[in-house]
Amino acid sequence: MKFKWKVAFLITIAAPVLGLFWKHSQPIIENFGTESDLNYADIAWLLTASCLVLLMTPGLSLFYGGMVNKKNLISTMLQSFISLGVITMLWVVVGFSLSFGDSIGFTIDGVKYGIIGNPLQYLFFDQVAELPHNTLGSTIPFILFALFQMKFAVITPAIITGSFAERVRFIGYLFFIGIFSLVVYAPLCHMVWHPNGLIGSYFGVLDFAGGTVVHISAGMAALAGALFLGKRNKPHHEPSNITYVLLGTGMLWFGWFGFNAGSSFGANATAALAFATTTISSATAMMTWVLFDRIQGRKISALQACIGAVVGLVVITPAAGYITVPESFFFGAVGAIVSNLAMNAKFLKKIDDTLDVFACHGIGGIMGMILTAIFAGKEGSSLLHGGIGVFGSHMLVLIGVCIFSFAMSYAIFFILNKFVTLRVREEYEEVGLDISQHGESI
């Protein structure tokens, strides 16, 4: 056990030691604008949006923590919160390079399409400074673009934690989120959001703020984790603190305005539209969820209202800046019904996805991508506007992303488990992870 912790410590301490001696190169002039290109309104908004997205991870920790058994509350919250440390360090060292470095991929008809970014280009934020990048946030400092994107990378593995809560060893979890960030999140981020990315550029797939990159990848990884780790000894539990869930939901909803409206990368009309569609979808999903529960014979509960609100946020994410306000009502309602059915489906109940991450984020993200392909865009660029080819591309990519995210995540769990046992001992699970893993209790 000590050896594994020593490895984790050495990996962590390597970054500040190497950073101390790192020599930054001069920015490549043709890639960057000048100080006169900076828009101070855009800078102010992106700084604010970055703070809002950062708030989502502590919000998620409260949201998840309140749902689990009292003896696992601290452990579950820490699993989300620790992502702020692990992924932030990885992102600065190499994650940003892998996500937004110059494309490494293949050429079709003379055009290069990327699968992953050059890992050496922005090591330790080399060239990531105050000037704006010509193609990546052309009105804001490049370092602000990098930090805004970092918050997305932070929350994605944190979302996964709800699927294997109450039974995962903390050391194994630390290694998993680091590897997941580099081999699953970074390639998807590059393929979808880099100007030369394969999914966004070649297939023309629309993902305004992370339906594919964040929610589908996290949802499929959650399914892989739940399947690999197996069921808890006592799968059913009473939520520890519904008040935490309500507070966490409020923080997530508030932070999601930065998540979606910030993805406009400017203080502009698109940001205002994304702000509106985000809150309307969430409100509609919450009401649809609790009333759908009621007509199914279930009571209206605060917990289910919170889950419905978050599902509405998930579903609207890929389309927030592309659709109209009336359409956002439809996104929220349909997303809530489909995710609700998935969460209560008997065949999914057989899988011990502790906090129903796959049903909410996986299915919610999938529905968001499908609805985006139907509604988003102008003439010829969505199914509703005659874009049959675009719809086909979205569905093809949807299948590919689901398979990639699930297979890669399962492979990480499988291989990692050979070196670090991922599941806690039965007696530790019985005592609770707060005591057995962290020596703390509420």
pLDDT in tens, 186-241: 999 999 999 999 999 999 899 999 999 999 999 999 999 999 999 999 887 889 99
**Domains in the chain, CATH or no CATH each:** 35-438 (1.10.3430.10)
No. of helices (H) and no. of strands (E), the chain: 19, 2
Question: From CA 312, how far away is CA 309, in angstroms rounded?
Answer: 5
Q: What is the mean pLDDT of residues 264-274?
A: 96
Question: From CA 192, how far away is CA 200, in angstroms rounded?
Answer: 5
Per-residue pLDDT tens over the stretch 316-356: 999 999 999 999 999 999 999 999 999 999 888 889 999 99
| pTM check: above 0.85 | yes
Question: From CA 123, how far away is CA 129, in angstroms rounded?
Answer: 13
Q: What are the distances in angstroms from CA 273 to CA 251, 263, 267, 327, 355?
A: 21, 11, 11, 12, 31
- Are 265 and 43 in contact by the 8 Å Cβ rule? The answer is no
User: Which candidate, 251, 190, 226, 290, places its Cα nearest to that of 60?
Assistant: 251
Give the pLDDT score at 380.
Answer: 47
Of 4-18, 178-192, 394-408, the poorest mean pLDDT is in: 4-18
Per-residue pLDDT tens over the stretch 354-410: 999 999 999 999 999 999 999 986 544 667 765 677 788 889 999 999 999 999 999
Helices (H), 167-241: 170-180, 186-193, 217-229
Which H helix or E strand runs over 232?
none
